[in-house]
Structure 1
Amino acid sequence: MPEARPHSPTRPTALAVWLIIAGAIGWWAAFQLTLEKIQVLADPDHSAACDFSVLVQCTANLNSWQGSVFGFPNPLIGLACWVAPIVVGCAILAGARFARWFWWLFELGMLFAFVFVCWLIAQSIFSLGTLCPWCMVTWAVTIPSFYAVTLHLLRTGILPAPASVRRGAARLMAWVPLMAIVSYAVIVLLAQVRLNALDNIFATLFG
């Protein structure tokens, strides 16, 4: 007997549009970091265009072991994986309906991205002592994307959950922007406490 698919009362148009936007922004950030990595490999003395100060720079992150944690530059992961949200978003707008297993795999990918980004944030702030501009762009789109996809799958029952959790997820969907802002604020607070980031950035911009 075929498995019944969870019912979604409306097409998640807002989610689809966000996935396209986030995917495009994330892919562009990964592309820029890849270009910088290629230039650094070609010329070890190359100064990346996103190197603004000792604190705000890309080169230190790209040249660290954390920048190639799987044995190849991290931006290559972004080049490959940010295509997925764009494709999923476009497919939803075109009227596609995905099987449960597809959404589970997509959620697994989003979970990996979220955990990996959280680890990279911790490494940047507490180990490398730098804030990579293009990395921060990636953080900025990964965090709300994970929240939005997870809540959507909970509210529609694609991720098994009690009815109360589904209702709560449906209500929280409208609060994803605020959840993201709070997450950004936590990152800024950690960077400020550890690196005195705000003073350093202002000094770089106006000093």
Structure 2
Amino acid sequence: MPAETAEYRRPIGLAVLLIVAGLLGWYASFDLTLEKIQTLINPDYVPSCNISPLVTCGPNMASSQGSVFGFPNPIIGVAAFIAPIVVGMAILAGARFAKWFWVLFNLGFVGAVAFIVWLMSVSIFVLGTLCPYCMLVWAVVIPMFWYVTAYNVKQGHFGNGRGSREIAALVYPWVWTLVLLSYLVIVVLAQLRLDALTTILRTL
């Protein structure tokens, strides 16, 4: 235990990422929830995120996939994004979490990534749209997933050995490259399927 205590360093950078990304994700989810409520109150209401036929959130909200659990998907974000904000604030306040907590926290991000990958595929390949608020959610979940996973490997929270922890410690400063590659995959898919760049430039 003393050795673990001596080696422990508060992940301040990770905490800041969780707070900032969590706040952005919560804002996007909350605003999208408000837009959905407005469309339910007034069927003629045009959401403010309907920027063009391609960059729009109306079709996403109106689709069956937009309420996959029987209620609007953004409500999930309003509830779920509180978690990284609270965890990040707790870390800054000096809190330490048990390994099992970090593993469960990581599993939450695995589920989040799986969910947004599915929603992303529906948006690009089925609906043919790029929802601005949805893309903001994608943009914040991806780095949180990669950095939380890398941190857990680096700290040995998955029960991995010292060798893998040392490798993870060396790789950790370069996790941003995985984030950029993930963004690049989304851009390429959107471009190949929707010719997104050309369409967006024409609307500017």
Q: TM-score higher than 0.5 here?
A: yes
1:147-188 deviation digits (Å, cap 9, x = unpaired)? 000010111011122333222222222122221111111100
1:91 corresponds to 2:113? no
**How far, CA to CA, are the matches of 2:12 and 2:169 in structure 1?**
15
Distance 1:51 1:39, change over 3 A: same
What does residue 53 of structure 1 align with?
52
Opposite residue 196 of structure 1, the aligned amino acid is: D
1:81-125 deviation digits (Å, cap 9, x = unpaired)? 000001000101111111122112211111111111111111111
Distance 1:6 1:135, change over 3 A: farther
1:135 corresponds to 2:131? no
What does residue 70 of structure 1 align with?
69
State the Cα RMSD in Å. 1.7
What does residue 116 of structure 1 align with?
115
What does residue 166 of structure 1 align with?
165
1:135 deviates by 0.4
**How far, CA to CA, are the matches of 1:126 and 1:168 in structure 2?**
37
Alignment of 1:34-49 (within 5 A): 34-49=33-48
Unaligned runs of 5+ in 2: none
Say which is worse superposed, 52-61 or 177-186, in terms of deviation.
Answer: 177-186
Opposite residue 155 of structure 1, the aligned amino acid is: K
| Contact 1:19–1:145 (Cα < 8 Å) also in 2 | yes
Opposite residue 146 of structure 1, the aligned amino acid is: F
What does residue 125 of structure 2 align with?
126
Aligned pairs, how many? 203
Opposite residue 163 of structure 1, the aligned amino acid is: R
Distance 1:44 1:5, change over 3 A: farther
Unaligned runs of 5+ in 1: none
Opposite residue 29 of structure 2, the aligned amino acid is: A
**How far, CA to CA, are the matches of 1:28 and 1:5 in structure 2?**
41
**How far, CA to CA, are the matches of 1:141 and 1:59 in structure 2?**
21
**How far, CA to CA, are the matches of 2:23 and 2:167 in structure 1?**
30
SS at match of 1:158: coil
TM-score by length of 2: 0.94
What does residue 14 of structure 1 align with?
13
Opposite residue 43 of structure 1, the aligned amino acid is: N
TM-score by length of 1: 0.93
Distance 1:47 1:4, change over 3 A: farther
| Contact 1:5–1:99 (Cα < 8 Å) also in 2 | no
**How far, CA to CA, are the matches of 1:202 and 1:110 in structure 2?**
33
